[in-house]
Structure 1
Amino acid sequence: MEQETAVLVRPTRDADVDAMLAIYRRHIRRGVEEGVDEGDTPQPDDLRERRKNLKNRRFPHLAAVRGDEVVGYAYVVLFRKRPAYRYTVKHSIYVHHQHVGKGVGSQLLRALIDACAAAGFRQMIGYIDADNAASLKLHDRFGFVRVGLLPGVAYRYDRWADSVMVQRSLGAGATVPPPPLPLSTR
């Protein structure tokens, strides 16, 4: 039996965009994000621009690759746009359907947590479909706490679906104030 190539997590590249969009579109068509209008999905140039903007702002945007194949990706955005929330990020993780249950999500989440902590973020937030038991269990394993239930916020599969809000502290979390802002940004 041939051994599978190990999965490596690294920053995304422009060359990953088509594979990331294919993964995302399948999630929309068949996954927990069903009901999103296909016309609302980003186009390759949109995703390239989003990656560039996130990279310029030092937000992690990671790909899980096996050999040359992108088998998943993860990224963060600001939780809220107002300056008071600048230390809190919201994350998203997408795994190729043929690689679900093989540890790709765990590798991406670990790398994302580490990258966000290293970048100085203090809190990580996630919204998970309440029916996605595997994702909820994954987040539990990584120390996320369920902090809210948002009933009936999504409509798909001809029914209303709930979302669970999860949160995890990073680094010193909320135990100490953040470092002072440089004078040039005050």
Structure 2
Amino acid sequence: MDVSVRTVKESDFTALARIYNHYVSTTVITFETEPVTEAEMAHRVSEALATSLPWLVAEAAGCVVGYAYASKWKGRCAYRFSVEATIYLDASHTGKGVGSQLYKALIAAIRAASMHAVIGGIALPNEPSIGLHERLGFKKVAHFEQVGYKQDRWVDVGYWQLLL
């Protein structure tokens, strides 16, 4: 599949919300329970970009098929070299290598921003996400049991870390 990765732009916000809202309404991958508006997605993008952290999109045949971004890990100053990485793909583009290409580009952008640690949180179970993170060198560093409740069940969360 021919995919290009680029920095997010304003015209992407509708596609970002569409991709994300699929996971909001049908999975426990995100703990949000209400759909996100295009305006809210625009706000989230502007927050990330205001901190000079990357927000990338994957595009195939002129359509946004995924996105990935880095956000502050915690608010305290000593955490300033650590970020949380997030990735979402259009459901029809999973398992095709898009995630690997997009996440590799995100890691390169995070490295270029002089970050030291990248942390990925995964709602469990989620073998595809675990596999993606581990193929890229992330190591599991934490497992929190039953910290989320969605779709009438308790959900565990694991954290994977990559030191750059």
* 1:8 has 2:4 as partner: yes
Equivalent residue of 2:23, what SS? Answer: helix
Contiguous gaps of at least 5 residues in structure 1: 171-186
Within 2, Cα distance between the matches of 1:98 and 1:43?
A: 21
Aligned pairs (5 A) from 1:112-151: 112-151=106-145
1:89 aligned counterpart, secondary structure: strand
Identify if the C-alpha distance between structure 1 residues 142 and 13 changes in structure 2 by more than 3 Å, giving closer, same or farther. Answer: same
Is 1:44 matched with 2:56?
Answer: no
Show structure 1 runs of 4+ deviating over 4 A: none
1:104 offset after TM fit, Å?
1.0
Please state which structure has a larger fraction of its residues in strand: 2
Unpaired segments ≥5 residues, structure 2: none
What is aligned with 1:33? 29
Q: Give the Cα–Cα distance (whole angstroms) in 1 for the partners of residues 43 and 94 of structure 2.
A: 28
Matched pairs, number? 164
Match of 1:87 among 78, 81, 88: 81
Q: Distance in 2 between matches of 1:96 and 1:157?
A: 21
Q: TM-score, normalised by structure 2?
A: 0.94
Q: What residue in structure 1 maps to residue 97 of structure 2?
A: 103
CA contact (8 A) 1:34 1:156 kept: no
RMSD: 1.4
SS at match of 1:91: strand
Task: Report Cα offsets for 1:133-180 as digits up to 9, x if no partner.
Answer: 01001111111000010100111232211111110011xxxxxxxxxx
1:20 pairs with one of 13, 16, 20: 16
Q: After TM superposition, give the deviation of residue 35 of structure 1 in Å.
A: 6.0
Q: 1:112 and 1:141 mapped to 2: Cα distance? A: 15
- Which range moves more in the overlay, 134-143 or 46-55? 46-55
- Choose 1 or 2 for highest CA Rg: 1
Equivalent AA in structure 2 for residue 29 of structure 1: S
Structure 2 counterparts to residues 65-76 of structure 1, below 5 A = 65-76=59-70
Partner SS, residue 32 of structure 1: coil
**1:12 Cα offset (Å):** 0.6
> Which deviations, in whole Å up to 9, do the C-alpha atoms of 1:65-109 show, x marking residues without a partner?
002100000111100011100000001100000001011111111
Question: 1:76 is aligned with what amino acid?
Answer: A
Q: Which stretch has the larger CA shift, 12-21 or 24-33?
A: 24-33
Corresponding position of 2:148: 154
Residues 144-183 of structure 1 correspond to what in structure 2 (within 5 A)?
Answer: 144-170=138-164
Q: Structure 1 pair 127/67, CA: closer, same or farther in 2 (3 Å)?
A: same
Aligned AA (1:9): V
